[in-house]
Amino acid sequence: MKPLTEQEIRAAFVNCTKGEAKRLSVPRELAETPWDDLDYLGWRDPQAPDRAYLVTELDGLPRAVRLRTSGPAFGQTRRSMCSICLTTHTGGVSLMVAPRAGKAGQQGNSVGTYICSDLCCSLYVRGKKEAGIGARLHESLTLEEKTERTVVNLAAFIAKVTA
Ligand SMILES: [Zn+2]
């Protein structure tokens, strides 16, 4: 994806107030981020690891979502699959819950999905990070098709948040 600045990321949040977007933690090392290898940038608040964030580009516009997570969902033994990049991990997938945008979110409505706990979907898809034997299905898809699918899955999730 295209490199983003801190300003652009803060302005891209779809499900928090302007004040929250101003205060939330954005990674400092944006300049060294390997943007070319990313379909989205995901991170956790180092002060509050149950807070996670991700930013991606949809139709040429940056879109960011704030998430709540409780860390790996089922202890460390159960295998589960990330619904964004379809990597299977042992204990490395978390239920991440996004408050819905606008009024719905204020009323407590949220949308949940299972995502790689380290928010590194892009790197698993590209084989730049390993999740262990059997983590990735053998597929005849090209890398381009796989990254496209990741983006489609993520876009569908964000569409639910903003619906
Ligand atoms: Zn993933």
The tens place of each residue's pLDDT in the chain, 163 residues long, gives 999 999 999 999 999 999 999 999 999 999 999 999 999 999 999 999 899 999 999 999 999 999 999 755 455 567 889 999 999 988 789 999 999 999 999 999 999 999 999 999 999 999 999 888 778 777 889 999 999 999 999 999 999 999 9
- Contacts of residue 69, defined as CB under 8 A and 6 or more positions apart, other chains included, come to 44, 50, 51, 52, 94, 95, 96, 97, 117
Distance 116 CA to ligand 1 centre (A): 4
Cα–chain-centroid distance for residue 21? 16
The angle at the Cα of 21, spanning 16 to 27, to the nearest 5 degrees, equals: 125
Q: Look at phi and psi of residue 80 and say left if phi exceeds 0, alpha if psi is from -120 to 50, else beta.
A: beta
**Are the CB atoms for 52 and 86 separated by under 8 Å?**
no
Domain that holds residue 133: 6-162
Does any domain span residue 21?
yes
- Collapse the DSSP code of 70 into the 3-class scheme (helix H, G, I; strand E, B; otherwise coil) and give the result: coil
Distance 114 CA to ligand 1 centre (A): 8
**Is the whole model's pTM more than 0.75, yes or no?**
yes
Number of domains in the chain: 1
Phi and psi for 68 in degrees, rounded to 5? -115, 140
- Contacts of residue 28, defined as CB under 8 A and 6 or more positions apart, other chains included, come to none
Q: What pLDDT score was predicted for residue 7?
A: 97
Distance 77 CA to ligand 1 centre (A): 18
Closest CA to 162 of 99, 95, 94: 99
Does any domain span residue 57?
yes
Does any domain span residue 140?
yes
Q: What pLDDT score was predicted for residue 139?
A: 84
Q: What pLDDT score was predicted for residue 77?
A: 66
Does any domain span residue 1?
no
Distance 86 CA to ligand 1 centre (A): 6
Distance 83 CA to ligand 1 centre (A): 7
Q: What pLDDT score was predicted for residue 134?
A: 76
Q: What pLDDT score was predicted for residue 75?
A: 55
Distance 133 CA to ligand 1 centre (A): 16
Q: What pLDDT score was predicted for residue 76?
A: 57
Distance 64 CA to ligand 1 centre (A): 17
Does any domain span residue 153?
yes
